[in-house]
Chain A
Amino acid sequence: MEICDLNALDLARLVRSRQTSAVEVVKSCLERVAQVDGRPGSLEQKPLSDEDKKRVHAFITLAGENALRQAQRVDRMLAAGEDPGVLAGVPFTVKDIFCVQDTLTTAASKILANFTAPYTATPVQRMQDAGAILLGKVNLDEFTYGSSNESSAYQPSPRNPWNTDRVPGGSSGGSAASVAAGEAPLSLGTDTAGSIRQPAAFCGVVGVKPTYGRVSRYGLIAFASSLDCPGPVARDVKDAAAMLAVIAGSDERDSTAARLAVPDYLEGIEEGVKGLRIGLSPDYFRITYPDPASGELLSQPLPEEIARAVTEAAEKLSALGAEIVEGVPMPNTRFGIPAFFVISRVEAASNLHRYDGVKYGLRSEVPTADLKEMYKITRNQGFGLQPKLRILMGMFVSAAQYSEQYYRRALQVRTLIRQDFEAIFDPAGAYRLDALLTPTTPTTAFKMGALYGDSVLMQYADQLTVSANHAGVPGISLPAGLDDEGLPIGIQLLGADYAEKTLFRVARAYEMATQEADWRKQKPEVLRGRS
């Protein structure tokens, strides 16, 4: 095992105790990147070579020299007896949707290809203040609009380290792929409908969507401001917990960041699940898909392999002392995607109005007659299809003559979705759950190109994760095995507001109970043949 394959907490311990240096750790990660990542995503349109198709392509901007300088600083601090922070020397990648001062921050879009952020996002700053080392900015679906990372303007888009013919998921595809490929033990992603949890499931890593407001969104380029949640992607539960403890907390620069103390998520994380009530809902064992011919939405059972992973997880947790509560109703889960189509697009259309070529980003060089022409040409040149689609739908459903029928109705359905969660987590209610156990995704990682172009099918990849975003509740996806083709399966735990500590405890118990499982001994395709 190489240094870059160690988990974050072990790396921090080794660096802080000076058994290794931060520089050695960064060098190991950079070496791994050089071996498996291939060329970074760029705006240059080059055909994919056979070599490209075997690489991960997680990065847009690799900041190796800067990372080494940060590592040298950490080592100097330790040599001087100073404390660089709890994550001293731990490399991390950042989804290129977060502003980082003096660094290109592109949102994987042409319209921001030349944008160098003048400030650093709060979650990134907190990681750096804790001694973690920014390795670079990783790829994503353009403006986070997608579930496969394929919509990025920066190509090649990331590929799944487990099978490079498959997508890593999205929109935090670069985050999940970089962690799964051993390029960095931690990554900062965002989750608006499942964009951390779904790629984490596809790539066999741990992904956390915190409670909305648990982590500041200052410096996060917005998709849907009432749904976006920054969160950790990590190799294991304890690392994810450690990272959340660093990035969470109030922020005077984000009025939606909750003024609530951040618990010590690691304290008691291995206490086990005795006495905890964990629910299973039949509404998460059916999936919806649009019929390719008619567009009609059809319901079918969850694929057997994925259902089995969830039920086996429940059995393990039961054997550890948890009480499994079956038949938990979540009847409004199936309306999560239709409601998301409306709410997220309205917010996205509003958030994208600022990209007009005036103050920053792309301004078209085509001579224009007037300001309005400049807006149109710039936005047409700068935005890819997915942003355009979201802007147009957002404007339609919020138009005066349609907003009652669509937008207001979707917001009411959001209330119903929220009420489903309140009912099951109510300590005085019928179910009194500590966590709801569900599958993370309706399928394992699909092939590159399989869904791209069909915006409805692509959005339904998030049908099991999106309800947590509507309700604002926290969720964690963790690996739970491999399917028949050797692709990771993820299971999800959802909890009550700010119940991340409980979710970590349940997740860690499952992780410890499956430590010796054969599937945990398998490696991603890009890492096979390495000792």
Chain B
Amino acid sequence: MSEQITKEVFDHLVGLAALQLEMDQAEYLRKQLNNQLKAIAELEAIPLEKDVPISLHGVPYEASLSAPPRADEWKPYPDPAGILAQVPQVVDGYIVVPDIPHTELK
């Protein structure tokens, strides 16, 4: 059974996605999402044995092919200034952002 993305569900997704959409964009996107769900509904028709495993990736990871984790050694980054140069607002090496939302608890 296909789920339809209602306006309420859509608005909730928009909140979770940390977006803030104009109305015409919101309508267009919601329509596209529902159209995509019609294509996705094809998956529901496939007879699947319960024991079909999931595949998180196609090519199997074998120990011989995978690089081991690197040694747990602390290495200073060579150019922190270069990284901080990208930050929109920096004061004394600290990244400055607006305050987090506060809720008064009663």
Contact = CB atoms under 8 A, between A and B. Distances in A.
Interface of A: 115-116, 118, 211-213, 226, 250-252, 254-260, 290, 295-297, 332, 334-335, 337-339, 341-342, 349, 353, 356-361, 363, 368-377, 379-380, 383, 385, 388-389, 391-393, 395-397, 402, 405-406, 408-418, 454-456, 459-460, 469-473, 497
A389 B19 CA distance: 11
Given A341-B36, A360-B87, A412 B25 contact: no
A interface, over-half SS? helix
5 contacts: A226-B58, A259-B64, A388-B17, A413-B46, A414-B54
Given A375-B18, A410-B43, A456 B36 contact: yes
A406 B58 contact: no
B33 A406 contact: no
B105 interface: no
Most buried by B among A353, A415, A473: A415
B35 A455 contact: yes
Given A259-B66, A414-B58, A392 B28 contact: no
Most buried by B among A376, A379, A454: A376
A456 B61 CA distance: 32
B67 A255 contact: yes
B40 A250 contact: no
A412 B70 contact: no
Contact of A418 (B43, B55, B70): B55
B97 interface: yes
Contact of A213 (B33, B40, B65): B65
A395 B98 CA distance: 26
A295 B58 contact: no
B42 A118 contact: no
Given A385-B25, A469-B58, A371 B97 contact: yes
Contacts of B56: 226, 411
Given A259-B67, A388-B21, A412-B48, A338 B59 contact: no
Interface residues of B, number: 58
Given A116-B86, A389-B29, A456-B35, 14 more contacts: A212-B57, A212-B58, A212-B59, A297-B42, A338-B40, A370-B98, A370-B101, A379-B20, A380-B20, A380-B21, A388-B29, A389-B33, A396-B33, A409-B44
Contacts of B17: 349, 379, 388, 391-392, 395
B91 interface: no
Nearest to B49: A412
Contacts of B23: none
Contact of B40 (A226, A255, A406): A406
Contacts of A290: 35, 38-39
Most buried by A among B19, B40, B61, B100: B40
A408 B50 CA distance: 11
Given A212-B57, A414-B58, A396 B5 contact: yes
Contact of A392 (B10, B38, B44, B98): B10
Interface string B5-20: 1000110011011111
Nearest to B56: A226
A415 B20 contact: no
A138 B59 CA distance: 29
B53 A455 contact: no
Given A371-B101, A376-B20, A392-B13, A118 B79 contact: yes
Interface string B62-106: 001111011000000001001101111100000101111110000
B33 A414 contact: no
A416 B52 contact: yes
A249 B32 CA distance: 39
User: What 6 pairs between A and B have smallest CB-CB spacing?
Assistant: A472-B58, A472-B59, A411-B54, A363-B88, A360-B86, A376-B20
Nearest to B32: A455
